[in-house]
Structure 1
Amino acid sequence: MLIAHISDFHVFADAPETSLVRADAADAARKVIADIADHQPTLDAVLFTGDLTDGGSGDDYALLKDILAPLDMPVFVVPGNHDTRAGLRAAFQDVLPLGPGPHLNYATQLGDLRILALDTLVEGHVHGALDPAQLGWLKDNLDHAATTPTMILMHHPPFPSGCAPLDAMALRDGREAFAGLVAAYEAPLYIFAGHIHRPFQAIWHGAFCQVAGSPAFQHALDLRPEAPEPGAVSEPYAYFILRLDPQQTMTIHKRCVPL
């Protein structure tokens, strides 16, 4: 099974909300999607971990859906802090098993893999959170099939990148309870996130974790404990392709796309 992991396109129809977002964010996103659509062998799914748009307007989501149109495989999305729940629900309710509740959580299956999508959006704020209802939903789903390999999709990473200012804007409320659920899960568990605008991997409480980069802009790497928030840096862009074999061995490849 081959799965692409992308994040943080920040596309906008009129004007960007974020000052660092490149003016041609939509064109950059189209190049990434074209590369995914043309990949051989054909990919089985795409994981899109938030900040699909930069402002969350209806026009932004209409543009996003046009950008994603060349993809024939399932695309599993979660909201980021620049998305809106209403806009994302309207754009994807026909292709995702979204429930009626206020959060855009859902559970689905991809072959032998279970996918749990978590909505960490805090309206009007940059950081993310999981409230008791969210954590209860996650626990119920993890307990339901405790031996099944599972992917958790979320925008705000619960695990640290080492970039202190960016980690302070990641998952805040519910992080310790989430860590307990992760540590207790006995089957293979993979956590995919975005938000940091730098690609990296981690092992956290026994789970494999990954953050995808952003074609809209990438943060510079600064691991000094007292460093200020890093600005944008000009680096080659790459997304991840995950290869999962029948023995549940996962291999991660970086796929470079000139933007």
Structure 2
Amino acid sequence: MLIAHISDFHVFSSQPETRQVRLDIADVARRVVQDLANFTPALDAIAFTGDLTDGGSQEDYALLKEILSRLQVPVFMVPGNHDKRRTLRAAFADTLPFEDGPFLNYETRTAGLRVLALDTLIEGRGEGALAPESLAWLAGRLTRATPEPTLVLLHHPPFPSGMASLDNAALTEGRDELAAMVREYPERLIILAGHIHRPYQSIWNGAYCSVGGSPAFQVELDLEADRHEPPCISQPYAYYVYRIDREGEFAVHTRFVSLDR
């Protein structure tokens, strides 16, 4: 199976809320989506790890749905800190099996893969949290035997990038509890996140983990950034393509899309 990992589009219908977001992000997002649609052989699914929009309005999600409409495969999404639960649920309740209750967690399967989607949003805040209810939900599902590899999606990465100013605004609550679960179930677990606006990969508590980049704006690699945020940088957008077999073995390929014409 082939799974693409994208993140942090920050599309907006009127004005961006984040000053760094490029004003032509809707057109750029269409270019990325067209590249996904044209990928050969055809993708089986796409994981979209949050900050789908920049403001979370009904109009923002209507624009996002129009942009994604070119895709003929499932798109599994989780909310980021710029999304809004109520409007996201309303926009995608017809395609995503959200659990009842306050959080947008869900479990689904596709092409021999189990997907566990986690809601780490703290509305009005940049950092993320896994509430006790979400941790209990995840624990219940990870204890169930399954023959398929498991893909865990969340916006705020629990695994550090090494850029302290960004890591301090990532997953700040529930990280230790999640780490304990991962240590118990690492061998067939793939964890995908966003939020950092720079793609990177990691092994965390025995599991493979990855952060997707952002076409809205990208940050420079700055491993000495402890008291300041790294500056933005202009470079092609990179998304990952995972080739995963039913035994859980996989290869990761990087696909580049030019953001400027």
TM-score by length of 1: 0.97
Structure 1 counterpart of 2:258, one-letter code: P
For 1:166 and 1:66, the matched residues in 2 are separated by 31
Residue 237 of structure 1, CA deviation: 1.2
Whether contact under 8 Å (1:130, 1:173) holds in the other structure is: yes
Cα shift readout 1:96-136 (whole Å, capped 9, x = no counterpart): 11122100000011132111000000011000001111100
Alignment of 1:62-211 (within 5 A): 62-145=62-145, 148-185=148-185, 187-211=187-211
Distance 2:111 2:238 in 1: 26
Q: Partners in 2 of 1:228 and 1:110 — Cα distance?
A: 41
Q: What secondary structure sits across from 1:144 in the alignment? A: coil
User: Structure 1 stretch 160-169 or stretch 216-225: which is displaced more?
Assistant: 216-225
With 134-143 and 106-115 compared, the bigger mean Cα shift is at 106-115
Q: CA deviation at 1:246?
A: 4.0
Asked if the contact 2:148/2:247 (under 8 Å) is kept, the reply is: no
8 Å Cα contact 1:45/1:73 also seen in 2? yes
User: In structure 2, what is the equivalent of residue 20 of structure 1?
Assistant: 20
Looking at structure 2, the residues matched to 73 and 41 of structure 1 have their Cα atoms a distance apart, in angstroms, of 13
Q: Distance in 2 between matches of 1:90 and 1:257?
A: 31
Q: The residue matched to 2:108 in structure 1 has which SS?
A: strand
- 2:149–2:246 contact (8 Å) kept in structure 1: no
Q: Secondary structure at the match of 1:56?
A: coil
Distance 1:227 1:146 in 2: 43
Q: Does the 8 A contact of 1:148 with 1:187 survive in 2?
A: no
- Tell me: CA distance 1:55–1:186, structure 2 relative to 1, closer, same or farther (3 Å): closer
**After TM superposition, which residue ranges in structure 1, 4 or more long, deviate above 6 angstroms?**
none
**8 A Cα contact 1:219 1:231, kept in partner:** yes
Structure 1 residue 248, shift from structure 2 partner: 2.6
Answer yes or no: is the 8 Å Cα contact 2:148–2:246 preserved in 1. no
Q: Matched residues, percent identical? A: 58
Amino acid at match of 1:162: G
Q: Does the CA-based 8 Å contact 1:146-1:186 persist in structure 2?
A: no
- Which residue number corresponds to residue 223 of structure 2? 223
Deviation by residue 1:32-70 (Cα, 9 ceiling, x = unmatched): 000000111110000000000000001000000000000
Query: Structure 1: which 5+ residue stretches go unaligned?
Result: none
Letter in 2 for 1:96: L
1:144, distance to aligned residue in structure 2 (A): 1.4
- CA–CA separation in structure 1 for the residues paired with 2:226 and 2:100: 43
Matches of 1:56 and 1:231, distance apart in 2: 25
The residue type equivalent to 2:177 in the other structure is A
Q: Contact 1:129–1:173 at 8 Å: present in 2 too? A: yes
- Counting only pairs closer than 5 Å after superposition, residues 236-255 of structure 1 correspond to structure 2 as 236-255=236-255
Distance 1:256 1:179 in 2: 31
Q: CA deviation at 1:225?
A: 5.7
Q: What root-mean-square deviation, in Å, do the aligned CA atoms of Structure 1 and Structure 2 show?
A: 1.1
Mean Cα deviation higher: 145-154 or 98-107: 145-154
Deviation at 1:227, TM superposition (A): 4.6
- TM-score, normalization by structure 2: 0.97
Contact 1:128 1:170 in 2 (8 A): yes
**Is the Cα contact below 8 Å between 1:243 and 1:251 reproduced in 2?**
yes
